[in-house]
């Protein structure tokens, strides 16, 4: 129903994840009435991200330099490596303020249905890092779903023989959650992982 | 937590309507992994919309030319003008295929709380169009909410003395809807506007 540049914009916006046809239309009209300077900033930000952002040569986190901010930080320890699926997971862990080691971004999880096997992830690169001998503990922070569990199990089998402690993030009830609404698998895990109070 | 170009992009995306911080992050990572050509197309579409799209000098619908597609169409009648709040409403009416007249986009609705009075809308321009004497019916298709009703009432008072038929879109139950879930005002309107079957 729209035509020309407006139709093109609605179409392009509609390709983005989480934006449906109505949302694309709403954003397009917002852009029409917004300040041209602001829209230029958005368009430039899009192009600059494609030009500047790549992955860290050590941990494969997003970075604008050869090595990411975390790998460059001399105050962090090389003794602990936290393995995550995606760069966004690095941010999630960083927000907790609990971890002062390094990361390794796998670039996904093992998913046979989608044809993603160990060779499609940065597992070989992780092994090379571990062979340097600095690492004492490998924390497996892949997602607590089927694919993430499979990946963690696979990595544990691979790494334990190297004499490195391998740990997995605890599964259980989310803080602030409601026991009544917890699914049975989560509640089962919470029972399994219960701690003695002292 | 993010830095550089990626942080800028997440911030700019987060300013768009309907996109929260999580959505902005998700879209930014999609853009990172998308084809550069596709992202260039999106960035260009943003800039071109700002450069090319303006409003029709007659009806104030969005247009890339002085007069919009509908105002240029010789097969449409000048006898009926449908008054809407926004350009998106033109598209909504066009989708019905019920209307073959012209439009007038007010640019909003009367809203004293937000300081929008009749002078902030394109009512003077509507009056000028009506004074040309071609119009037989003015269809008020402003939204069926307080502001839209106030605007319709205001316009009806202004236009009726000119001898032009003024009509308002019917209020009632949405087709495919459920009587049980209709709010009492809508159901009341549906009663008021009931039609004798013959």
Could you report the predicted ipTM of this complex, rounded to two decimals? 0.81
Residues B100 and B131 in one domain: yes
CB nearest to A49's CB, from B9, B26, B44: B9
Q: What angle do CA A156, A160, A165 make, to 5 degrees?
A: 95
For the stretch A20-35, pLDDT in tens is: 999 999 999 999 999 9
Does residue B58 belong to any structural domain of this protein? no
**Which of A1, A3, A16 has the most B C-beta neighbours within 10 Å, making it the best mutation to test the interface with B?**
A16
SS3 content of chain A, % helix, strand, coil (to 5): 50, 10, 40
**Mean pLDDT estimate for chain B:** 93
What is the domain-level CATH number for residue A109? 3.40.1360.10
Whether B17 is in a domain gets the answer yes
Domain assignment present for A60: no
Separation of alpha carbons A39 and A19, rounded Å: 18
User: Residue range A51-59: average pLDDT?
Assistant: 95
- Asked if B9 and B93 sit in the same domain, the reply is no
What percent of chain A has pLDDT above 90? 79
| Same domain for A93 and A148 | yes
Residues B84 and B139 in one domain: yes
On whether residue B63 sits in a domain, the answer given is no
Q: Which domain holds residue B39?
A: 4-52
Closest residue of chain B to A61, computed from CA coordinates: B2
List of residues 6+ apart from A14 with CB closer than 8 A: A20, A21, A23, A24
Contact B49 A5 (CB under 8 A): yes
Residue B191 Cα, gap to closest chain A Cα (Å): 31
- CA B64 from centre of chain: 17
Assess whether pLDDT exceeds 80 at residue A102: yes
B64 and A1: CB-CB below 8 Å? Answer: no
SS (H, E, C) A163-182: CCEEEECCCCCCCCCCHHHC
* Whether residues A84 and A142 fall in one domain: yes
CA distance A70 to A62: 10
Beta-bridge mates of residue B137:
B80, B165
Say which of A17, A26, A43 has its CB closest to residue B18.
Answer: A26
Tell whether B93 and B47 lie within a shared domain: no
> Residue A178: inside a domain, yes or no?
no
Q: What is the pLDDT of residue B195?
A: 81
Q: Are residues B96 and B158 in the same domain?
A: yes
Residues of A in contact with B1 (CB under 8 A): 91, 94-95
Contacts of A111-115 spanning 24+ positions with Cβ under 8 A? A111/A147
What is the model's pTM? 0.80
Report yes or no on B89 lying in a domain: yes
Q: Are residues B81 and B134 in the same domain?
A: yes
Among A14, A53, A107, pick the best mutation site for testing chain B contact (most B Cβ within 10 A): A53
Look up the CATH number of the domain holding residue B25: 1.10.8.420
- Residues B14-67 have pLDDT tens digits of 999 999 999 999 999 999 999 999 999 999 999 999 999 999 999 999 999 999
- If asked whether residues B79 and B48 sit together in one domain, one would say no
Q: How far is Cα A28 from Cα B21, in angstroms, rounded to an integer?
A: 19
Answer yes or no: is B175 within a domain: no
| pLDDT given for residue A133 in this prediction | 92
Q: Please report the pLDDT score of residue A170 as a whole number.
A: 87
Distance CA A187, CA A148 (A): 19
Position A49 scores a pLDDT of 95
Q: Is residue A61 part of a domain?
A: no
DSSP characters for A87-128? Answer: HHHHHHHHHHT---SEEEE-SS--BGGGTB-GGGTTHHHHHH
Backbone dihedral angles phi then psi of residue B108, each to the nearest 5 degrees: 140, -165
Q: How many domains does chain A have?
A: 2
Residues A91 and A42 in one domain: no
Residues of chain B with pLDDT under 70: none
- Regarding whether A97 and A140 lie in a shared domain, the answer is yes
| pLDDT of amino acid A98 | 87
What local confidence, expressed as pLDDT, does residue A110 receive?
96
- At residue B194, the pLDDT reads 84
Residues B154, B87 within the same domain = yes
């Amino acid at each position: 129903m729209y035509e020309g540049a407006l139709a093109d914009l609605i179409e392009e916006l509609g390709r983005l994840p989480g934006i449906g046809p109505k949302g694309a239309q709403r954003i397009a009209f917002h852009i029409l009435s917004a300040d041209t300077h602001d829209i230029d900033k958005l368009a430039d930000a899009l192009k600059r991200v494609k030009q500047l952002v790549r992955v860290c040569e050590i941990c494969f986190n997003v970075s604008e330099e050869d090595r990411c901010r975390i790998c460059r930080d001399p105050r962090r320890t090389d003794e602990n490596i936290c393995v995550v699926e995606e760069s966004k997971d690095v941010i999630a862990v960083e927000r907790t303020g609990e971890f002062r080691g390094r990361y390794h971004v796998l670039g996904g999880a093992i998913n046979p249905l989608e044809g993603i096997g160990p060779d499609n992830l940065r597992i070989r690169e992780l092994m090379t890092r571990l062979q340097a001998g600095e690492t004492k503990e490998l924390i497996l922070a892949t997602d607590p779903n089927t694919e993430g569990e499979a990946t963690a199990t696979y990595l544990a089998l691979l790494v334990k023989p190297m004499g490195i402690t391998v740990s997995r993030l605890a599964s259980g009830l989310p803080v602030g959650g409601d026991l009544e609404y917890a699914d049975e698998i989560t509640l089962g895990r919470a029972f399994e992982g219960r701690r003695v109070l002292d």
